[in-house]
Chain A
């Protein structure tokens, strides 16, 4: 099957590689099917909607910036993705890329979890965590001192 996309031109989609979201990316309820495409570095992956060629997200492996990043899922959340442990899941966070480089950020509070085996995924909100919704990547640049404590960057009081 072929898909015309705004970012990648016309691409071939293997139906077996399509990931179905069991819970939507909030605000994008009607878009449930996506494929992963390689991003510009090993830590970046595109998530392209197969329902709309115009919709795509850039995903970051959050452990590239927070090595001990943890998404704690409940048993129910795990079973929805047909797995028994987070270790079976790929963990990604969405990145926002405004023209101002200092504003480039990722949402550590609401990661995207994907079960590669079952090709299921969803966005979850880590209700009990202090991870910020806006974690600015520039604060991680080498030579700019220690990364800011995540707990200081809370966006939800």
Chain B
């Protein structure tokens, strides 16, 4: 892993078009700004992983007989 030390308002370029900027530093929290092309999806990692796991469960669905009575008609 590449490790770089940055101060507030300093940033890092990833390739030509992705910029990661340290906006604010608190005791145990850092606010990060990301400028990236729209083709690059940017998500908080734990949310991304949770959605990926839920999608995998959704793909495993084969029988749906028991859903119908859970939703209004």
Contacts and interface: CB of A to CB of B under 8 A. Distances in A.
Chain A interface, DSSP helix/strand/loop, else mixed: loop
Contacts of B64: 39-40, 44, 58, 95, 97
A127 interface: yes
Interface of A: 6-7, 23, 25-28, 39-44, 55-58, 60, 64-65, 76-77, 80, 94-98, 101, 104, 107, 109-110, 123, 125, 127, 133-134, 137-138, 140-141, 155-156
Interface of B: 38, 41, 43-44, 46-48, 50-68, 70-73
Contacts of B71: 41, 43-44, 60, 64-65, 137, 140
A109 B47 CA distance: 9
A57 B52 contact: no
